């Protein structure tokens, strides 16, 4: 259940990124839901490995490199999914910020629901 709620907030973040960030395009609502689920899977499997491998660079940049890692995960979803297009790293970083804010809000909602 938690995964589905997190995926819903990821979908909300991706939708907001398509509206706010120029260069981010998702074809339709079905593609948006698939992109959110795929982003959740990529964040659960690939992202931890990349974070560990880039830990020295993340420490040197005081954590800012995690934006690049998150943007890379969005670009990976773009590569895997046909109906999604992210035009370059700048758009991916901005989309990662928007999606991250939506995920943070989702985390806060889930945390409040547990209390």
Instruction: Render pLDDT for 39-82 as a digit per residue (tens, 0 to 9).
Output: 989 999 999 999 999 999 999 999 999 999 999 999 999 999 99
Does pLDDT of 7 surpass 90?
no
Biggest distance spanned by C-alpha atoms of the chain? 41
Q: Parse the chain into domains and list their residue ranges.
A: 2-114
- pLDDT above 90 for 113: no
Are residues 55 and 25 in contact, defined by beta-carbon separation less than 8 angstroms?
A: no
Looking at residue 115, what is its pLDDT? 62
Please state, in angstroms and rounded to a whole number, the distance separating the CA atoms of residues 11 and 19. 12
Distance CA 50, CA 55 (A): 8
Model pLDDT for residues 20-38, shown as the tens digit of each residue = 999 999 999 999 999 999 9
């Amino acid at each position: 259940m938690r995964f589905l709620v997190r995926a819903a907030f990821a979908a909300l973040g991706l939708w907001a990124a398509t509206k706010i960030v120029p260069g981010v395009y998702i074809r339709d609502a079905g593609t948006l839901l698939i992109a959110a689920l795929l982003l959740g899977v990529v964040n659960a499997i690939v992202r931890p490995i990349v974070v560990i491998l880039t830990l020295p660079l993340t420490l040197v940049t005081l954590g800012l490199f995690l934006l690049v890692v998150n943007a890379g995960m969005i670009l990976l979803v773009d590569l895997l999914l046909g109906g999604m297009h992210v035009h370059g790293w700048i758009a991916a970083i901005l989309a990662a910020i928007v999606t991250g804010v939506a995920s943070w809000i989702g985390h806060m909602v889930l945390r409040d629901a547990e209390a």
